Amino acid sequence: MLIFQHPMYRNFKRFREIIRVFNKYGFALHHLVLFERWTFPPIPKQILANPPQLNLRMALEELGTTFIKIGQILSTRIDLLSEDYCQELKKLQDDTTPVPFEEIRDVVEQELKAKIEELFSEFDPNPIASASIAQVHRAVLKSGEKVAVKVQKPNIEKKVNADLEILSYIAGFSDRLKIFSENISFSELVAEFRKNLTREIDFLYESVNALKFRENFKEQEGIYIPQVFPRHSTRKVLVMELIEGVRLTRIHDCHIQGLDCQLLAERGALAVLKMIFEDGFFHADPHPGNIMVKEPDGELVFLDFGMVGAIDSETRVSIVKILLAALEKDASRVVAYIEEDILTVPIKSTVGLRLDLNEVLERYITADLKEMNLNNLVTDFFYILRKHNLKFPAHFVSILRALVVAEGTGMMLNPHFTIAPYLEKTLRKIFAHAMDYENVSKKAFHYLFDWKKLLEEFPGKGHEILTKLASGRFNIKFENKELEEIGKKIDSISNRVSLSIILAAFLIGSSLIYTNYQYLKSLSILGILGYIIAAFLGITLIFEMLRHR
């Protein structure tokens, strides 16, 4: 690779800024502590006095758009970060100063290939909201519909891609040095960030999601999804129906007449449960800021479809089994199901995990599910997973978090609301549907089809195996990944030992030559050359040890 094509060359100033900010807040890759008092690089006393989660939030805020979004994504990863980090990162503010209208006009006209006046009969130059990636303007289409126009700010895509390129480089370096826990791959995290951020800056992805949600909820009473106008939407411009209403964050300040908060909480919870367990396509962040109450009819309106999750029917059934077992306080079945269907790494101590889970389930699962706090249960559940170094797929974490957020949203409307009774009812309904005659017969048909294929192929395959056995041409290939890893480690250790012996030989030989023949110029130069070779071998050995530690 040519040096000018390297990401660190293209984005060197930004790379240096990222390292400087993380150093400033105490998150250097390595800090040298001297005499238990000083650090190098130096960290301000005020920063050292702060909790680390606060320093992380301030560092991400200072680094801007990409890192704020990454922090918001991390705040949802309760399987990776402890509760105090997640709560602190939720405070990250995405509100920013809007860019001048002329720049927004340029983006709209370039994307839609026409003048604003040709597309809209009205277009308010003052935004009604401004975030780090986009800002939203009121407008009226030529056909008369009132719309909200979401416009991506100039050069945002370029900045985000540059930051992600730098993070990918740092991630690869960090993983080689094993700076993080063995169960956390920084490269995998950055790949997830890239996927989420790439989708968030592509408004066509959001428009497709909105259309799908609108289709799924077209017959659901009390739930409304705004209309999308695909002809006026592109990767950087999204035109949706303008909703007149109140966000749930301000619902208690508006005193809407005839508002039934308990009914709204129930509708919101049932909508999220429908998304997850019936549709397999769900809003991954149903917090109060993303939900409105439409006036005057009081319907709940879901907004912002950039973060969504999707799961297939088989995974849904697996999750239903796990959650039902949890609600029945059956820790053994929970462990068996997650080990069989969900976990991406093996359980080291099944007994320890079962005992820890049993303690949590006994603590939180009550006879009256109306008294159960799902947030505390899920928080302790993921604490146990971190304790046992277990790793879950991101979609499973997203589902549990969506349920917790839905319960929190309901509690904002009614402080006594809990999602558990509605969750149990939905789970039993889905499980019963999976076990009904139509579904069971469909699965039975697929199994019979597979057996039919096996019975048809068995005689030919059996004859082929017997022929090879009779002729002595039957080979069995044995492959053990663990033995391969052990072999690689032994080779690595052998290379280090050999390099160390050669290094010691050069040092001793060079020292003998230099001390005994320092007045003979030709021989003393040979000793100095030996020192140089020894220094080079020493540096090579150190890097090799760091890279494979």
Residue 314 shares a structural domain with residue 385? yes
Task: Enumerate the β-bridge partners of residue 90.
Answer: none
Residue 111 shares a structural domain with residue 72? no
Residue 102 shares a structural domain with residue 197? yes
Helix (H, G, I), strand (E, B) or coil at 393: coil
Residue 57 shares a structural domain with residue 203? no
**pLDDT score for 30:** 47
**pLDDT score for 181:** 53
**pLDDT score for 115:** 94
Pair of tokens at residue 394: 């991101």
Active-site residue (options: 202, 285, 304, 356): 285
Q: Which secondary-structure segment (H or E) carries 120?
A: strand 120-123
Helix axes 186-200, 65-74, angle to 10 degrees: 110
Residue 121 shares a structural domain with residue 268? no
Residue 368 shares a structural domain with residue 269? yes
Task: Enumerate the β-bridge partners of residue 520.
Answer: none
**pLDDT score for 434:** 67
**Is there a catalytic annotation at residue 450?**
no
Q: Are residues 138 and 146 in contact, defined by beta-carbon separation less than 8 angstroms?
A: yes
Residue 99 shares a structural domain with residue 89? no
**pLDDT score for 80:** 74
Residue 268 shares a structural domain with residue 297? yes
Residue range of the domain that includes 470? 440-476
Q: Are residues 197 and 35 in contact, defined by beta-carbon separation less than 8 angstroms?
A: no
Non-local CB neighbours of 119 within 8 Å, separated by 6+ positions: 108, 112, 141, 142, 232
- Write down which residue in 93, 120, 139 finishes a domain: 93
What 3 state SS string does 221-256 have?
CCEECCCECHHHCCCCEEEEECCCEEEHHHHHHHCC
| Low-confidence residues in the chain, pLDDT < 50 | 1-4, 29-38, 40
The amino acid occupying position 251 is I
Residue 67 shares a structural domain with residue 102? no
- Write down which residue in 68, 93, 118 finishes a domain: 93
Residue 338 shares a structural domain with residue 414? yes
Q: How many domains does the chain have?
A: 5
pLDDT in tens, 132-167: 889 999 999 999 999 999 999 998 888 888 888 888
Q: Are residues 138 and 124 in contact, defined by beta-carbon separation less than 8 angstroms?
A: yes
Residue 504 shares a structural domain with residue 390? no
Q: Environment class of residue 526 by beta-carbon count within 10 Å: exposed (0-12), middle (13-18) or buried (19+)?
A: middle
Residue 144 shares a structural domain with residue 207? yes
DSSP states along 190-212 = HHHHHHHHHHHT-HHHHHHHHHH
- Write down which residue in 208, 242, 276 finishes a domain: 242
